Amino acid sequence: MKSNFNFSNLLGQVYNRGNIVFSDDGNKLISPVGNRVNVYDLINSKSFTFDYEHRKPVSCIDVSDNGNLMLSIDVDGRSILVNFKTRHVLHHFNFKEKISKIKFSPCGKFFAICAGRFLQIWKISFNTENDEDNGDSADGIKEFQPFVKYRTHAGHSADLINLTWSKDSRFILTTSRDLTTKIWSLTKEEQQLASMTFSGHKDYVMGSFFSDDQEKIYTISRDGALFQWEFTSNSKEEEDSEQEEEIDLSNYSWRITDKKYFYNRPALVSTVTFHSESNILLVGFTSGEFRIYEMPTFNLIQKLSIGTNSVTTLSINKTGEWLALGSKKLGQLIVYEWQSESYILKQQGHFDIMNSLCYSPDGSKLVTGSDDGKLKIWDVNSGFCLATFTEHQSSVTQVKFAQRGQVLYSASLDGTVKAWDLIRYRNFRTFTSTERLSFQCLAVDPSGEIVCAGSQDSFEIFVWNVQTGQLLDTLSGHTGPISHLQFSKENGVLASASWDKTIRIWSIFSRSQDVEPIEVFADVTSLTIRYDGKHVACSTIQGQILIFDVENAKQIGNIDGVKDIKVGRHINDRFESKNSDRGRFFNTINYSFDGDAIVAAGDNNSICLYDVKNEVLLKKFTVSRNMLLDGTQELLNSSRMTEFGSLDLVEGADEEDDEPVIKETIPGSRRGGDLSSRTIKQEIRVTSVQFSPTASQFACTSTVGLLIFSVDDTVLFDPFDLDFDITPMAVKEAINEKEFLEAFIMSFRLNDYHIINEVYESIPLKDISIIAKNIPLPYLNRILKFIGEYSTDSYHLEFNLIWIKHILSYHGHYIMNNKFKFGTELRLLQKFLVRLGKETAQMAKENTFSYMVLKSIDVQNQTEELEVIDDDSVYQSESGDSDSDVDMKEDSDDEWEGFASKSKQIPIEEEEDDDELLL
């Protein structure tokens, strides 16, 4: 069993807070998700998540113009500098105050941040030796820090909101809550000339921007007013004197030359951005509307709406073609191409906590159900949401796939179990009970004919027929709420776990319907069945994982996970986490597909991977390091505790205008009293965990999103059983000596794709059978994977089919006995064979009439040949024996031979050419 799983991606959430930015090439969109950062590749339709985590949610990010550096800052001012292209963390730094905005300079040598009411400029010191010094920085001294403070500007009387660099990186515009905008220079020499305050707005100034020629400045306030400023003379005499050689800049200043208004009351401007090259102004409002204007004429190009919630952030790529919008309230992310009026990306995460997940049988899709009543289908490879179902009226508690993967089932607290057709993406069947119950668990028969559901309100299991939708039976026996149901994939038995401290095995397909109860002596929270149906494992409220033999109803294993669980301190706890007993058990467990490992998680910050045979912990994963989540801290901070409670309960609301409030929660509730408020402190917990059918990854749903842990297969050079004698030259020598099996094995030990490809194509057809028969079993997995990947883009169709035929003929029995090891490889081969079959059938269908025409031409030529032979025999019988007659006969024979040969050859050649052309 593989244990080298690492975090690979974060799904379920696309945007939380902060700003979103485009990469330097404009093809990638960078979005903060909690304390992590996601990147969406808009060209290749893929996404990935950086490995690093902040201690608290990310508040602002930015990428340098050359695309090499990315700086992300959390709400406490702690920043992480990352190489964006290699995804490596370069430096950690603490600004020691809240940062509201960060922006790299166009020259790439500086970045500016809004720290409270101060503007700080920092110099990047990676390449300071050859850079020209722009002021009183270190004179040729090489800095050891990645960036050093260059200058601090103070002048605003309230916190800064936004900042903008000029195109030449000489000036900076800042906007503030004091209703003003100020311009600053990078150097001291120009500060005296550039010192200016832009006032006149009646509300917060949300943004200020330079025009492309830097002769105009646009300032936009929250109440919808846009002022245009120009650098003009203070007197008319100065304007008339155009013949002077030198202009006295002291007589010039910035003045308002035009005023425009958006007229969108009562909605306010929530965010704004400007693209100077194309003069496009993008404005977002609190009503969910966003507008596109052309400046300086202020022409309205488009006006659209993303919903009823406020537009939180806006961004535009370098070319000005794509606009990105983010809404914090709904967790929505949109990329819009305004010229073609089409959406490039439109994603939205779950509004509430996810309760369940399920892999499709091929492992390519994930389905999640949430408390918001929605089901979302996620593509594992791309990370994007493919479809959303919203028919449920209450929380979705569990989701299950049918065996073939074309039907999805979901249970909900609204008292229904729904069946979804994933080909037409619609609900085709709804199952209900005789009473109004809320279903908590779900199980689907491998054949797809039977669906079972259990409830915590009633202690019975309801069984439905999928074809008719009728309730077939009600299974009674449990005396407590049913916590989990699961069918065995091999023998079709149903296992149920309950709070009555028992596990029951139901044989619902047999005539006797035997029930085998298994005593557990503790409340059972979850269970899982091994792939062959012989063993069942359950987690108890005492923190143990018990393993039972289904046939003998005896316990054969016990894994104690109490010491392995990492429990955090909650906000009201007056003790450290090590003294807490809260959450020291597993709520969800799952068997791996080989039955050698179990992954377990619960209402804590740990995901544990156990070896079943040895009953030991293989690896432990941390769900999140976000300190704002309840249950992630371990130590007690006594300075935050008062006689009235914890000071962490008093926090500033997310809205800028709101004053700090005390969060009131309903006793026993995990969501808070006001469900419309998103400022509650969520508790860290994992609700569901499952292995992928490919055995290369597992996923878990948690309060931070859908986490995917996978085995890293991205290593370019991964030698297998390598020694000093295995070299590329040795492989080529073996090919020259026609030792093809030895060369083939050595190429796989080097694991170089080009060398493997060269050996594979150099093997003669007559030797394929012998080589396939003598392939060592440890290399069988790698060879099948190579052939599956190679066949996808190869034109040697018959050559690949011969390889597949001989390998499956000689090693098919071993592969079937160990099919869990060859899941990925067999799917690659199946993909190639299905594609080849479809293309061949389509080609034969398209060339049916062409074949009939060619066949008719061949029959016609044969008929003409027979007629010519008959005429020649008549001619010979009537001719005499004279020399002239003999000459005529010889000539006619020569002509006939040429004609006959042509009549036989021409149609055949044309048919071969046509067949080659069609293939």
* One-character DSSP codes across 257-268: EEEEE---TT--
Backbone angles phi, psi at 799, to 5 degrees: -60, -45
Query: In one letter, which amino acid is 525?
Result: T
Is the per-residue pLDDT at 335 higher than 70? yes
Q: Please state, in angstroms and rounded to a whole number, the distance separating the CA atoms of residues 589 and 530.
A: 12
pLDDT digits (tens, 9 = 90+) for 374-396: 999 998 888 899 999 999 999 99
Task: Indicate whether 822 belongs to any domain.
Answer: no
What own/partner pairs with CB < 8 Å and gap ≥ 24 does 758-764 have? 759/731, 759/735, 760/786, 760/787, 760/790, 761/796, 762/735, 764/740
pLDDT confidence band for 351 (50 / 70 / 90) = confident
Q: Are 42 and 345 in contact (CB under 8 A)?
A: yes
Q: Are 310 and 283 in contact (CB under 8 A)?
A: no
Do strands 322-327 and 365-370 pair parallel, antiparallel, or not at all (unpaired)? Answer: unpaired
Which of 296, 379, 282, 374 has the alpha carbon at shortest distance from 334? Answer: 282
| SS3 of residue 740 by DSSP | helix
The angle subtended at Cα 208 by Cα 205 and Cα 213, nearest 5°, is: 160
Per-residue burial over 135-167, b if 16 or more Cβ lie within 10 Å, else e, is: eebeeeeeeeebbeebbebeebeebbbbbbbbe
Backbone angles phi, psi at 825, to 5 degrees: -65, -45
Q: Are 771 and 743 in contact (CB under 8 A)?
A: no
Task: Indicate whether 588 belongs to any domain.
Answer: yes
Task: Indicate whether 28 belongs to any domain.
Answer: no
Q: Please state, in angstroms and rounded to a whole number, the distance separating the CA atoms of residues 820 and 810.
A: 19
Which of 732, 720, 723 has the alpha carbon at shortest distance from 782? Answer: 720
Q: Please state, in angstroms and rounded to a whole number, the distance separating the CA atoms of residues 440 and 413.
A: 7
H/E segment holding residue 884: helix 883-918
Which of 90, 92, 87, 91 has the alpha carbon at shortest distance from 712? Answer: 87
Task: Indicate whether 858 belongs to any domain.
Answer: yes
Given this model, what pLDDT does residue 251 score? 67
Q: Are 219 and 175 in contact (CB under 8 A)?
A: yes
Note the helical H segments in 159-259: 191-194, 236-240
Q: Are 503 and 536 in contact (CB under 8 A)?
A: yes
Q: What is the mean pLDDT of residues 320-334?
A: 90
Q: What is the mean pLDDT of residues 365-377?
A: 91
pLDDT digits (tens, 9 = 90+) for 45-65: 889 999 999 999 999 999 998
**In angstroms, how far is CA 432 from the centroid of its own chain?**
35
Q: Any idea what DSSP says for residue 830?
A: H
| SS3 of residue 350 by DSSP | coil
Task: Indicate whether 286 belongs to any domain.
Answer: no
Could you say which of 653, 688, 711 is where a domain stops?
711
Residue 353 burial (C-beta neighbours within 10 Å; 0-12, 13-18, 19+) = buried
Angle between helices 753-762 and 740-750 (to 10 degrees): 170
- Distance separating the N- and C-terminal Cα atoms of the chain: 45
Query: How many Cβ atoms from other residues are within 10 Å of residue 767's Cβ?
Result: 12
**Chain position carrying tokens 């009201």:** 572
pLDDT digits (tens, 9 = 90+) for 797-806: 888 899 998 8
pLDDT digits (tens, 9 = 90+) for 753-777: 788 888 888 999 888 988 888 888 8
Per-residue burial over 9-19, b if 16 or more Cβ lie within 10 Å, else e, is: bbbbbbbbbbb
Q: Are 577 and 604 in contact (CB under 8 A)?
A: no
pLDDT digits (tens, 9 = 90+) for 103-140: 999 988 899 999 989 999 999 876 534 444 444 444 44
Given this model, what pLDDT does residue 79 score? 94
Note the helical H segments in 737-847: 740-750, 753-762, 768-773, 777-793, 797-817, 823-846
Q: Please state, in angstroms and rounded to a whole number, the distance separating the CA atoms of residues 438 and 355.
A: 14
What domain range is 612 assigned to? Answer: 561-664+679-711
Note the helical H segments in 181-255: 191-194, 236-240
CA-based torsion, 883, 889, 893, 899: positive or negative: positive
Which of 354, 211, 181 has the alpha carbon at shortest distance from 275? Answer: 211
Residue 448 burial (C-beta neighbours within 10 Å; 0-12, 13-18, 19+) = middle
pLDDT digits (tens, 9 = 90+) for 526-580: 999 988 888 899 999 988 999 998 888 888 889 988 888 888 777 777 777 677 7
Is the per-residue pLDDT at 877 higher than 80? no
Q: Are 282 and 290 in contact (CB under 8 A)?
A: yes
**Chain position carrying tokens 């028919």:** 391
Q: Is the pTM of this model over 0.75?
A: no
Query: Of residues 614 and 658, which shows the higher confidence score?
Result: 614
pLDDT digits (tens, 9 = 90+) for 693-744: 877 889 999 998 899 998 864 433 445 555 556 788 888 888 888 888 888 8
The strands making up 181-185's β-sheet, listed across from edge to edge, are: 160-165, 171-176, 181-185, 196-198
Give the contacts of 585 (CB within 8 A, at least 6 positions apart): 525, 539, 540, 541, 542, 543, 561, 562, 565, 602
H/E segment holding residue 641: strand 641-642
**Chain position carrying tokens 């026993």:** 668
Task: Indicate whether 377 belongs to any domain.
Answer: no
Is the per-residue pLDDT at 597 higher than 60? yes
Task: Indicate whether 903 belongs to any domain.
Answer: yes
Per-residue burial over 735-744, b if 16 or more Cβ lie within 10 Å, else e, is: beeeebbbbb
Q: Are 600 and 619 in contact (CB under 8 A)?
A: no
Task: Indicate whether 870 belongs to any domain.
Answer: yes
Q: Are 600 and 679 in contact (CB under 8 A)?
A: no
Tokens of 853: 């025409």
Backbone angles phi, psi at 718, to 5 degrees: -130, 85
pLDDT digits (tens, 9 = 90+) for 663-676: 444 555 554 444 44
pLDDT digits (tens, 9 = 90+) for 269-295: 999 999 999 999 999 999 989 999 999
Backbone angles phi, psi at 287, to 5 degrees: -85, 0
The angle subtended at Cα 625 by Cα 619 and Cα 629, nearest 5°, is: 125
Greatest pairwise CA separation for the chain in angstroms = 139
Q: What percent of the chain stands above pLDDT 90?
A: 28
Q: What is the mean pLDDT of residues 401-430?
A: 89
User: How many domains, the chain?
Assistant: 2
Q: What percent of the chain stands above pLDDT 70?
A: 82
Average of per-residue pLDDT values in the chain: 81
Give the contacts of 128 (CB within 8 A, at least 6 positions apart): 138, 141, 142, 143
Q: What is the mean pLDDT of residues 167-181?
A: 91
Given this model, what pLDDT does residue 53 score? 92
